[in-house]
Structure 1
């Protein structure tokens, strides 16, 4: 009889524990995720010659991946500027005056049909009292016209668009930024990420802002192996079938499939290998079902929530 009572008490404790664990994250997922599709003006920078309008989704700059559209007006003629060489450089200055950058497209691409210059920037931190982001934009016509402006980079509230930065086994600095889906469903979701690398300078720093010190490039031909799991103790390290590893598409981004079988906290565990199959970062995680124990994570991962 005593053993029976002990069993019932233990079972109640486990059920209560699981309920509390689930309640914690269920409260979080009640926050509605808004999807943004329209580009709106986030910033205007003007000089005596040009007016530059920068458009982003939701008219804001966020930590993580930001697609940007630039529309440029000649203030003398009030006409759109088309096809001029345009460069775009974000600079972060910390409390000690040290300067760095983040993954970005330096030479913007002109979209003839839509009449805007297209690029991207992956901000690696939010703006605060000690970190200051500033954009440097150069327009090349008969002479170089430089415009710059301090901006505010906000925290990313949508965990489905999280990012991570790390040093690989090859001592290179890498960045993985989730781009889609903004609002996943309980289904197989197309997973899109940008993967970038810092190009180590080969020369000493020249006159600021010297591009050779702030150069980044898309990682070419690597594979990001995916193992999604629910790390909550109540979920027992639960995974899902039919996931697909991320490989590079023609546009340079990385594409795969993640199958979310229920809403809640998920961890995207990664193993990152180069084109020769050499391990850059990441570890395999246990496939054991572990109810009541928080799930193991790879040394390379991104947490998401929906």
Structure 2
């Protein structure tokens, strides 16, 4: 009987710890999770009689996934140009002379309903003294090709629900996984959306800079992201949740699943990435033990979130 009472008191202590942390996390989340739903101009170019404007959420390029709207306007007629062939190439330059890119949509498609060219860019780092980003844009209008470039600033992503990770898979390919949604989850089953991208290793020598074949990425097709969300905080005891769904690719090219957040706080999305043949390219199974007082073990492939 004495042992039973001690066990009950211990469990009550764990539950109390969880409740206190939950309350703290709720207070923290009220001020730390920004939500951006309005597209504003982030950068503009001018060439001759044409103005190119690129819009992003909050008018800012962030590290991670950025949906982009590009508009071309004839400044003489103030009319949108919709028949141009538009290309978009972000390039990061380092002080050591190295040049790299990030997942992006190179040839932008025109959205006839919303009157802009739609694309995206997954910036893999923030702008720093050692690294700078520049956009290279080209378009054709009135049978003439225009090529422009401009330096941009990439800001820190302060919303952990839009985190990303880069890694090399067991197939020796370079991958990027970026969270797209939700911006601000709720204590419920949330639709989870992510992009998975692979760097296309060049097969030919570089041509005239910027040669897009040297900076190409593609959306991977037919993969699966197995999902195991946990609360790794010692006070949470490696807490998990039911009714989660693995992420699979849908018609928009992104990967969709379900993550069930049972409380606010620090969560880790433990992942296992499998290719179209079911081979594991990255990630490990997470132990299911309840470990109060001990930090939970994370997968070899994971993304941290906080809401």
| TM-score band, normalised by shorter chain | over 0.9
Q: Which secondary structure state, in structure 2, belongs to the residue aligned with residue 212 of structure 1?
A: helix
Query: Is this contact kept in 2: 1:86–1:138, CA < 8 A?
Result: yes
* 2:219 corresponding residue in structure 1: 218
1:20 shift after superposition: 12
Correspondence for 2:229: 228
The equivalences for 1:256-275 within 5 A come to 256-275=257-276
Deviations 1:161-197 (A, max 9, x none): 0000100000000111000000000000000001110
Aligned-pair distance for 1:49?
Answer: 3.0
Contact 2:56 2:69 in 1 (8 A): yes
Say if 1:236 and 1:295, in contact at 8 Å, map to a contact too. yes
Deviation at 1:29, TM superposition (A): 2.8
Indicate the residue corresponding to 1:44 in structure 2. Answer: 44
Distance 2:304 2:149 in 1: 34
Query: 1:18·1:233 contact (CA, 8 Å) conserved in 2?
Result: no
Instruction: Give yes or no for the alignment of 1:29 onto 2:29.
Output: yes
What is the CA distance between 1:77 and its match in structure 2? 3.2
Instruction: State the alpha-carbon separation in 1 of the partners of residues 111 and 154 from structure 2.
Output: 26
Question: What is residue 125 of structure 1 aligned with on the other side?
Answer: 125
Q: Determine the C-alpha separation between the residues in 1 that align with 2:262 and 2:83.
A: 47
Aligned-residue offset at 1:40? 1.2
**Which stretches in structure 1 are left out of the alignment for 5+ residues?**
none
Q: CA deviation digits over 1:118-144, x for unaligned, max 9?
A: 000000000011110000000123232
Q: RMSD of the TM alignment (CA)?
A: 2.3
| Contact residue 103 and residue 122 of structure 1 kept, 8 A | yes
The 2-side partners of 1:27 and 1:134 are apart by 38
TM-score by length of 1: 0.92
* Residues 55 and 68 in structure 1, CA contact (< 8 A), matched pair in contact too: yes
How far apart in 2 are the matches of 1:265 and 1:25?
A: 8
Give the alignment's TM-score, normalised by structure 2: 0.92
**TM-superposed deviation, 1:198:** 0.4
Partners of 1:215 and 1:205 in 2: CA distance: 12
Give the drift of 1:96.
1.0
**Count, aligned residues:** 300
- Structure 2: which 5+ residue stretches go unaligned? none
Aligned residue for 1:116?
116
Q: Residue 18 of structure 2 contacts residue 236 of structure 2 at CA under 8 Å; is this kept in 1? A: no
